[in-house]
Amino acid sequence: MKKTVFPLLIVLSLAGIIFSHFYYQNQVEEIANQAVNRTSPTSTASTNQEEQQQDEGTDIEIYEQGWLGNFLQLNDQQEHHVLFFGSDSLESTGSGQGWPEIVMEETSAAIDPLAIQTDLVIVDSDTISSNVTDKWLDDIIEAEPTILIAESLTLNDNSHAETIPPQESVEYLNEFFTDLKNELPELEIILVPSNPLVQASFYPIQINALNQQADSLPVHYFDHWPYWPEEPAERDLLLTNGKPNDDGQQLWADAFLEFFIDS
């Protein structure tokens, strides 16, 4: 009897050990599966966050293009105000848009959904003298732009009854922009020369003086003259009475866009 019971106990003990082992393994697997299920939402959230970062990265890549992209990278405020300032050369002598309007349409499309407010101030035949400072400085300050895109008004200086000497014209520009920066320290100013003419003698000398001394002004300077054709007959097709027509405005806009958003 003892010989029969003893082996039976050994068999039952082994069976209990084996059963306990498989039961324990099954419990461990269930716990592991539950843990995976609990962490799945976090994994999904992480994936969504990575996708969002990738989408944001795409926007940043767009904003990094050109001068404006660099500006937006350094200025993360959501609202920006661009003010164009200049003579009637900023308006087409034809029926089309002026180059500021063309530039901002292209710019808005490139940086969508970021919106930029745009205004245009035309000074007609005023020269870059104390008259401009007295008449227009307060208007610009009141508008509180974050970016001012200004024409040099050199053509107005040349067309005036008493031509303003090149050095004096640059000094007036420096005074005007310095006063603006004192009132609006965060303002970024982009200065462009007035449009070229077909035949002129003293006017190119004024523009050359501006090109040479632009670095001394508190502005970013963009010279668009190299984009205009040198051949007088070709250049004449872009002007009407010395001012840019529709084709001239488009050329000016295309040139500025290469600098502004690297289009």
Show which of 60, 77, 108 is a domain's final residue.
Answer: 60
pLDDT at residue 18 in the model? 52
CATH number of the structural domain spanning residue 75: 3.40.50.1110
Sign of CA dihedral 179, 180, 185, 191: negative
Give the pLDDT confidence score for residue 33 in this predicted structure: 52
List the structure tokens of 102.
């063309």
Same domain, 84 and 184: yes
Q: Does one domain contain both 118 and 25?
A: no
Q: 108 and 205 share a domain?
A: yes
Do residues 84 and 154 both lie within one domain? yes
In this structure, the answer to whether residues 52 and 68 fall within a common structural domain is: no
Q: Which domain holds residue 79?
A: 64-260
Compute mean pLDDT per 10 residues along the chain, 263 residues long, and list them: 48 49 50 44 41 45 76 82 97 96 95 89 85 82 96 89 82 94 96 95 94 97 98 97 97 98 83
80 and 25 housed in the same domain:
no
Number of domains present in the structure of the chain: 2
Q: At CB < 8 A and 24+ separation, what contacts does 127-131 make?
A: 127/153, 127/156, 127/157, 127/160, 127/164, 127/172, 128/152, 128/153, 128/154, 128/156, 128/157, 128/164, 128/169, 128/172, 128/173, 128/176, 129/157, 129/164, 129/172, 130/172
Instruction: Return the pLDDT at 35.
Output: 42
Domain ends where: 30, 45, 60? 60
pLDDT at 199: 87
At residue 30, the pLDDT reads: 56
Write the DSSP string, 84-102: EEE-GGGS-SSSS--HHHH
pLDDT at position 147: 97
Residues 244 and 133 in one domain: yes
What is the pLDDT, as a whole number, of residue 162?
65
Q: Which pLDDT value is given to residue 76?
A: 72
Which pTM was predicted?
0.76
pLDDT at 74: 87
pLDDT number for residue 44? 38
Co-location of 128 and 41 in the same domain: no
The pLDDT of residue 134 is 74
Do residues 56 and 80 share a domain?
A: no
The 10 Å Cβ neighbour count of residue 120 is: 16
Q: Is the same domain home to 178 and 79?
A: yes
